[in-house]
Structure 1
């Protein structure tokens, strides 16, 4: 988890997608996150965390439902939301907090 924490310390925004393979709505997120990455390029780091494979990480961030998106910058939580979001709305959130 230390490598994960190191990534969160980045000066640029880091969006973490907490998800699970069995979660239907989670399956909608990869193409949305791909769009966001294409729109913002190197201005954002996007990480995917499977809560079943990383239960300690999910617990550390109090993830109760999936998908949960958490935006970090300089190691601090700037924003979080559970559920699917459209790429354009997500881009606005990242720009506001980034």
Structure 2
């Protein structure tokens, strides 16, 4: 009758974030602090997004005070900061030129970033443009 809502996963080490990013699914990362009022507002929105997208995207929270090196690695200056990590779309090439590298597996990159409050529909649009789908 009622289904249990899934919440965003809390990350304790940056290595966990690297593992999720390597999975091929888009990763929405919410860099937050527990004593930040806008972070608490975004907490509910991020949890709703996590529930809506289920297994098609990873939705995680990173407490910049608890996870060592997170603020420095991602250059977090204020919270909440939201980032989407994903593999860029593969472009078809017409010809392979002499000296070009053969097409390989594209690496994960930062596809989107913002700081402050964000509307839920904007987060949905970003995730869907990076390959996520609603459950």
Normalised to the residue count of structure 1, the TM-score between the two structures is 0.89
Higher RCO (CA < 8 A, seq sep 6+) = 1
Distance in 2 (alpha carbons) for counterparts of 1:90 and 1:4: 19
- Write the deviation string for residues 19-45 of structure 1: whole angstroms up to 9, x where unpaired: 001211000112101221232221111
- Which protein has the bigger strand share? 1
Is 1:29 the counterpart of 2:42? The answer is: yes
Which residue in 1 is equivalent to 2:55?
Answer: 42
**Match of 2:50, SS?**
helix
Normalised to the residue count of structure 2, the TM-score between the two structures is 0.67
Contact kept? 1:10, 1:73, Cα under 8 Å: no
Of 6, 21, 24, 1:11 maps to 24
Question: Where in structure 2 are the equivalents of 1:52-67 lying within 5 Å?
Answer: 52-67=65-80
Rg bigger for which structure?
Answer: 2
Distance in 2 (alpha carbons) for counterparts of 1:57 and 1:34: 21
Distance in 2 (alpha carbons) for counterparts of 1:54 and 1:38: 24
- Which protein has the bigger helix share? 1
Gapped runs of 5+ residues in structure 1? none
Which residue in 1 is equivalent to 2:8?
Answer: none
Aligned positions, number: 98
* Structure 1 range deviating more: 66-75 or 37-46: 37-46
- Write the deviation string for residues 30-80 of structure 1: whole angstroms up to 9, x where unpaired: 210122123222111111000111241121011111000000014311101
The CA RMSD over aligned residues, in Å, is 1.4
Distance in 1 (alpha carbons) for counterparts of 2:16 and 2:68: 16
